[in-house]
Amino acid sequence: MKIVDKRVVYDGFYKLYKVKLETDGTILEREIFDTGQAVAALVFDTVRQRYIFVEQYRLATNTDVLEIVAGMHDKPSESLEDATRREIEEETGYTVDKITSIASYYSSPGAFAEKLTIFYAEVSKKASEGGGLADEHEDIKIVEVAPADLENLTIEDGKTLIAIQWALLHKQQ
């Protein structure tokens, strides 16, 4: 397959592209939803021995969702690790002591262009209250979870499921 045409048909908070593909002399039309590159982190407070999750309203579910810290890697000069550190401080108030890569993947590559990189981050000091940025209209609640309760959480978010499974497999408890 070869992309022969790609154009933006919607350019808002996210982008939607109309794409023409050529395969064996046939032209196919498809759409790609592009949210950009994202980062996420399973955060563990080494002093309090608690995982730090966030809960916030998510439009697609029309409800609050319990998940790991996440955000966009939208500053080209910033490394994935630095973007993750920034998101952790914005959302939870913690500064990162140690960061380790867990996985990098496309959640649904048939239609979505977002690539997500997940990290495990250890923290021990709060620099601020967290809760998100007012200018981004974030209203984030911090949820602390004991390691023993990790596998009993009800989670509907894919990146969070991946991070929890990683923690359980690596006994980050």
The alpha-helical segments, DSSP class H, found in the chain are 80-92, 158-170
Distance CA 18, CA 140 (A): 34
List C-alpha distances in Å: 131 to 93, 97, 115, 141: 7, 20, 24, 6
Task: Read off φ and ψ for residue 127, nearest 5 degrees.
Answer: -105, -20
Residue 91, marked binder:
yes
From 22, 31, 136, 151, the catalytic residue: 136
Residue 144, marked binder:
no
Residue 70, marked binder:
yes
Beta bridge partners of 26: 23
Are the C-beta atoms of 74 and 132 separated by less than 8 Å? Answer: no
- With tokens 């996985």, the residue in question is 103
Beta bridge partners of 50: 45
Residue 78, marked binder:
no
The one-character DSSP state at 130 is -
Q: What is the CA radius of gyration of the chain?
A: 18
136 assigned to active site: yes
Would you name the residues annotated as active-site residues?
Answer: 136
Binding residues: 70, 87, 91, 138
Binding residues for Mg(2+): 70, 87, 91, 138
